Structure 1
Amino acid sequence: MTQPRTQPRHANLPRRSPRLLAMFVRYVRRYVGKQFNAVRVLRESTCDLPSDTPVVFYVNHPSWWDPLMLALLATQRYPQRQHYAPIDAAMLGKYAFFERLGFFGIEPNSTRGAAKLLRVGQAILAQPDAALWITAEGQFTDPRLRPVQLRPGLAHLARRLPHARIVPVAIEYIFWDESTPEALMAFGDPINTAEAAKQWDVTEWQRELAHRLERTMDRLATASQTRDPALFDNLLDGRRGIGGVYDLWRRCKAWARGQRFDPSHGGSSFDNDTKEAR
């Protein structure tokens, strides 16, 4: 993935290295591909956005894996945008290279942290091609928990944006038919701040943001329960198969029959074994 440019420096803008980001995304693809069967986006939730409008993507936060999945989503679906994200300042101190990827440190649950989110967020979103990614729950939270509770910083930021889109993104992880899990994501309905910012106070913003994210999470959960990959577009195909002696046996049988070996649990090799067992 190539980044179109390096942004002009501004006192409140995090540093970004397009070259380092491209290297990081290549690493993420390899690493995630070994750990997951697939990374998928709900097809009906495709989110087309105006190219001259900054965007805030706010996401539920079920797992440690979320930043890696969002890196794939951001760079594959919106390669033309300049991507940024807040991160716990203590964590950034341990992994300083994230500073070169567009991350900026904030202190959670503090007035100073909220003020920095507003200050840096507004500077980022003054760029028409910027995208800011926020895990708005602020801590790891089970995706089944209701009602959805968001930290108030996002509502305060949204109210200060005269011209932007605010987009909910749902994410969850689940096992289907393979030995490795699925990472599933979905976009929700965007909010146009040009229409909403003057109408809603912070409480109304907070309520609407939580409602839209919860609705998106529910829609993703419903699609997930079907166990139907056809409802999704794949961002990444990962490792399939059960492994070990079982896959070795299936591979040898496919070779003996002159067939292509399909390592997936529901593939032709598995179907043949099942028929023979009957």
Structure 2
Amino acid sequence: MTGPAGDPVALRSPAMVRFFDGVMQRQMRRAFRAVRVAEPGLPALPDDRPVVFFSNHPSWWDPAFYIVLSAALLPGRCSFGPMEARALERYRFMRRIGIFGIEPGTTSGAARLLRVGGHILSDPAHVLWLTAQGHFADPRTPVELQRGLSRLLSRAPQALAVPVALEYPFWSEKRPEALAAFGDAIPAAEATHERLEQALQDTANALAARAKARSPAAFDTILGGRVGVGGIYGGWSRLRARIRGRSYRPEHLPESGE
């Protein structure tokens, strides 16, 4: 079957994907204390069905988070995702890692998402990541999804839809946490706009409760980052530990969550 113009399946390079996985992992290690996934983690996904992961959109870090999650949790799958066409023209190399361009908020953009998304989801080894809100929004505001997601799923009856909530809260360190939570998989045949929206809202609410509790024990840490506050406070803490004859621990928040 001939793919659409600018077919991301044909353009995707496994070598480029591996390279970019490493780049994004290093970026998130530097920027965050840790990258964590709320327990029980990723729902069981059969190998014979493609998957659409749809999330809220709290930050420009979201696509990088997708890449890290995909590399850590879905090593046997090929991941794809849309990007504003104008921005993709500036970063053309991203076509080689499964990114395809669309024009957000336009009829042609919606049509291309349906066309390219349907093509991607024709293969059970593929997954599609979507910031289904379509615009940046605080993670604690009510979820409002664009209707293109349910339309896409109506054209891909073999697919499953999985809600993904994302947050980047500060706990007790200089750097924030990168937190994700997955909801239950929804068969495409049952994926009405209302059900998808409610599923993501429920997942976001559950993640918010855990984020507020600030307990690493409620999460699986898939990528450790830098710890400690640094600067004057960090220097003073290091000196105080030395004066007291204790080993210096830069982290404020132990992994036990105590």
Q: Considering the TM-score relative to the shorter chain, is it more than 0.5?
A: yes
| Aligned-partner residue type, residue 247 of structure 1 | G
Structure 1 vs Structure 2 CA RMSD: 1.9
User: Which structure has the larger Rg?
Assistant: 1
Distance in 1 between residues matched to 2:233 and 2:138, nearest whole Å: 34
Distance in 2 between residues matched to 1:162 and 1:265, nearest whole Å: 48
| Aligned-partner residue type, residue 188 of structure 1 | G
Distance in 2 between residues matched to 1:254 and 1:51, nearest whole Å: 52
Give unmatched runs, 5+ long, in structure 1.
1-7, 198-204, 268-278
- Matching residue of 1:178: 173
Q: Give 3-state SS (helix, strand or coil) of 1:145's partner.
A: coil
- Matching residue of 1:234: 221
- Matching residue of 1:84: 80
Distance in 2 between residues matched to 1:157 and 1:246, nearest whole Å: 51
TM-score, normalised by the number of residues in structure 2: 0.91
TM-superposed deviation, 1:142: 1.1
8 A Cα contact 2:41 2:220, kept in partner: no
Q: Give 3-state SS (helix, strand or coil) of 1:132's partner.
A: strand
1:162 equivalenced with 2:149 (yes/no): no
- Matching residue of 1:125: 121
8 A Cα contact 2:34 2:178, kept in partner: yes
| Aligned-partner residue type, residue 153 of structure 1 | G
TM-score, normalised by the number of residues in structure 1: 0.85
Matches within 5 A, 1:1-278: 10-11=3-4, 13-14=7-8, 15-146=11-142, 148-193=143-188, 195-196=189-190, 205-252=192-239, 254=241, 260-266=247-253
Distance in 2 between residues matched to 1:183 and 1:211, nearest whole Å: 23
TM-superposed deviation, 1:104: 0.4
Distance in 1 between residues matched to 2:2 and 2:31, nearest whole Å: 37
- Matching residue of 1:274: none
Could you give the per-residue CA deviations for residues 11-35 of structure 1, whole angstroms, max 9, x where no partner exists? 4530111111111111111111111
| Aligned-partner residue type, residue 118 of structure 1 | L
- Deviating runs (4+, > 4 A) in structure 1? 252-260
How many percent of aligned residue pairs carry the same amino acid?
A: 45
